[in-house]
A and B are shown apart, each in its own frame.
Chain A
Amino acid sequence: ETGVTQSPTHLIKTRGQQVTLRCSSQSGHNTVSWYQQALGQGPQFIFQYYREEENGRGNFPPRFSGLQFPNYSSELNVNALELDDSALYLCASSWGLTDYEQYFGPGTRLTVT
């Protein structure tokens, strides 16, 4: 186990609703990255938080937003849910901006109906 935890494990939402996913990073890690993995595909980078600020973003619309807290845990918020948002959401923690290795949590499986 990596020490990265995510909650909830599973979630079912209706189109148009909002959702918040949570991630606790591994002890000592100050960087959290979020990935979206649609069924049958590889994970896609959403964004990264470092010291409570967004440090990089992939090709995702603004309705995907996040937060990082002083204890380095993080939230991923998605507004106006669409059916295509159904996916496994993975968070990964690392140390600093130069650590190439990221440690993944177990993921949250979101289903949008």
Chain B
Amino acid sequence: AQKVTQAQTEISVVEKEDVTLDCVYETRDTTYYLFWYKQPPSGELVFLIRRNSFDEQNEISGRYSWNFQKSTSSFNFTITASQVVDSAVYFCALSASLDGYNKLIFGAGTRLAVHP
């Protein structure tokens, strides 16, 4: 079965705190991609990162960093020195290739509230 679990429903932090959003996935595919998307109140999904199953290097982009560990099937997302503008719902997704087409399987999302 293909599945993405985001166990944290809501997280509330004060500005400048670091925060980590957890993502655990299940797949039998040997080749797959993992994604993080940000969804602000406007509703549009904003692409943050894509990571393929063969690249376990961690990545840093400004205040954002991602930790991919195949051994634990996790792809966690850390925001350093959080800001109010980071408040949004964050989704982790798995790209599954089934029967000749790709679809994204999303977790339930984590709502992040950053307070001034």
Determine which of B37, B43, B47 lies in contact with A106 in the assembled complex, contact meaning CB atoms within 8 Å: B43
Residues of B within 8 A of A109 (CB): 43
| Residue B14, interface by CB 8 Å | no
Residues of B within 8 A of A97 (CB): 100-102
Q: Is the CB of A45 within 8 A of B43?
A: no
Residues of A within 8 A of B109 (CB): 40-42
Q: Is the CB of B102 within 8 A of A99?
A: yes
Bound-state Cα–Cα, A50 to B99, Å: 14
Q: Is the CB of B103 within 8 A of A104?
A: no
Q: Is the CB of A48 within 8 A of B103?
A: yes
**CB-CB nearest in chain B for A102:** B104
Residues of A within 8 A of B50 (CB): 100-101
Number of interface residues of B (CB under 8 A): 27
Docked complex: B57-116 residues within 8 A CB-CB of A: 91, 93, 95, 97-109
Q: Is the CB of B105 within 8 A of A45?
A: yes
| Residue A66, interface by CB 8 Å | no
Residues of B within 8 A of A2 (CB): 47
Determine which of B47, B97, B99, B104 lies in contact with A43 in the assembled complex, contact meaning CB atoms within 8 Å: B104
Q: Is the CB of B44 within 8 A of A56?
A: no
Q: Is the CB of B101 within 8 A of A48?
A: yes
Bound-state Cα–Cα, A21 to B108, Å: 24
Residues of B within 8 A of A105 (CB): 44
> Shortest 10 CB-CB distances between A and B: which pairs?
A42-B106, A56-B101, A104-B45, A100-B33, A45-B103, A100-B95, A106-B44, A107-B43, A55-B101, A43-B106
Q: List 9 A-B contacts (CB under 8 A).
A: A48-B103, A55-B100, A56-B98, A56-B103, A98-B102, A100-B33, A100-B97, A100-B102, A101-B35
